[in-house]
Structure 1
């Protein structure tokens, strides 16, 4: 069951985030089989991410929370908040999804 996870970085964590990036990417890549899509969100005037969105295919909300709370960015306090919501696609790849 897909869950959308949106997270936002705390202010002033840019250098910490840079230092944790390799560990974060390793974590994300080790979970690729469960990830439908993952990426950063950016302000209009900068090319450094300030948050992100993940759509994760897991069995329960608890598994989605476990995923985000084990991300090195969360563990080390980069995120100011996150939101986990069940996700049902409506349009995919320019076409209406079945269902």
Structure 2
């Protein structure tokens, strides 16, 4: 199984999408918690508006990660761009956040 990082970059218009689809997005993350291991919003500083997001995903192939992104209720191509990168932990140990 490969670990992937998805980095989302949002336009300012994404804030309205977040408000409208927040509950659906959280439900989607919970439904896919076996593959989307960590997910959360990114801000320039604490308490600033969100400017993007980040996921750590476990999936066999790149296309599975793309499918997860495109099916997320938050995905709005005019307001959210993304990059997918293969990732490997430097130390293979459990981390509790």
TM-score range, shorter chain: 0.7 to 0.9
TM-score by length of 1: 0.80
Query: What is the Cα-based RMSD across aligned positions, in Å?
Result: 2.3
Which runs of 5 or more structure 2 residues have no equivalent in the other structure? none
Which runs of 5 or more structure 1 residues have no equivalent in the other structure? none
Which is higher, the Rg of structure 1 or of structure 2?
A: 1
How many residues matched?
94
The 5 Å alignment of 1:1-99 reads: 1-44=2-45, 46-75=47-76, 77-79=78-80, 81-91=81-91
Q: Name the one with the larger helix percent.
A: 1
Q: Does the CA contact (< 8 Å) of 1:17 and 1:78 recur in 2? A: no
Q: Return the alpha-carbon distance in structure 2 between the equivalents of residues 59 and 84 of structure 1.
A: 13
Q: Return the alpha-carbon distance in structure 2 between the equivalents of residues 51 and 35 of structure 1.
A: 16
Q: Return the alpha-carbon distance in structure 2 between the equivalents of residues 34 and 57 of structure 1.
A: 5
Q: Deviations over 1:15-43 (max 9, x none)?
A: 23111101111111100011222111112
Q: Does the CA contact (< 8 Å) of 2:10 and 2:79 recur in 1? A: yes
